[in-house]
Each structure stands twice: as C-alpha cells, then as structure tokens.
C-alpha cells in the first residue's frame, strides 16, 4: 500500500508525483485564475489505485495517467478535457 499526500494548487507537486502526472497538474494549475478576493487556492490530493497515481483537486478535477503514461485531465462527472 502506498499513502498519498496533499498540497496547494500552484505549489510544486511533491517529489513522489511522477513527472508525467506533474505536467498535467501544472497545466491545470496554470488554468486556474487568481482570486481577486484572496480566497485560498484549492488543494490537490494524491492517491494510488492499483499502483497508479491519481491527483484530484478539491474542485473535482482529476489528473491521471493513461496506458501510455500520458496525463489525462477530467472532471469527477466523467467528462474529459482536451
């Protein structure tokens, strides 16, 4: 069993996050606008399912790796983003 971790969106992902997954996370982070009211940024949660990393943002955005090891971004409602 592998434990996960949490960090704030916009911060560098922890070193345990595979680089391909980190690329997808950074792309999502870059698309989140700054909050003019100073609200805290959402947080990522890293979990492992069958030894594969999955990062989920508090907003419901999920970044995982496909069979080729490339990042896939989707929302927890099942929609994939281009």
Phi-psi region of 4 (alpha: psi -120 to 50; beta: other; left: phi over 0): beta
In a domain, 15, yes or no: yes
Give the pLDDT confidence of 22-80 residue by residue, as tens digits: 999 999 999 988 888 888 899 999 999 888 999 999 999 999 999 999 999 999 876 55
In a domain, 60, yes or no: yes
Question: What pLDDT does 79 receive?
Answer: 59
In a domain, 57, yes or no: yes
Question: What pLDDT does 26 receive?
Answer: 97
* Total Cβ atoms within 10 A of residue 58: 14
How far apart CA 11 and CA 16 sit, in angstroms, is 14
In a domain, 63, yes or no: yes
In a domain, 51, yes or no: yes
Residue-range definition of the domain harbouring residue 17: 5-31+42-75
CA distances from 76 to 5, 35, 48, 54, 56 (A): 19, 23, 16, 12, 9
Question: What pLDDT does 44 receive?
Answer: 97
Which is nearest to 55 in space by CA: 8, 30, 35, 34?
Answer: 8
How far apart CA 62 and CA 77 sit, in angstroms, is 10
How far apart CA 58 and CA 62 sit, in angstroms, is 9
Give the pLDDT confidence of 1-14 residue by residue, as tens digits: 566 899 999 999 99
Name the domain count of the chain. 1
**Taking 90 as the threshold, does the pLDDT of residue 81 lie above it?**
no
Q: Confidence class of residue 82 from pLDDT cuts 50, 70 and 90?
A: very low
């Amino acid at each position: 069993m592998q434990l996960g971790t949490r960090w704030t969106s916009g911060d560098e992902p922890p070193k345990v996050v595979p680089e391909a997954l980190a690329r997808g996370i950074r792309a999502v982070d870059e698309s989140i606008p700054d909050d003019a009211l100073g609200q805290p940024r959402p947080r990522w949660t890293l979990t492992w399912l069958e030894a594969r990393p999955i990062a989920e943002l508090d907003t419901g955005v999920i970044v995982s790796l496909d069979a080729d090891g490339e990042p896939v971004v989707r929302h927890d409602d099942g929609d994939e983003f281009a």
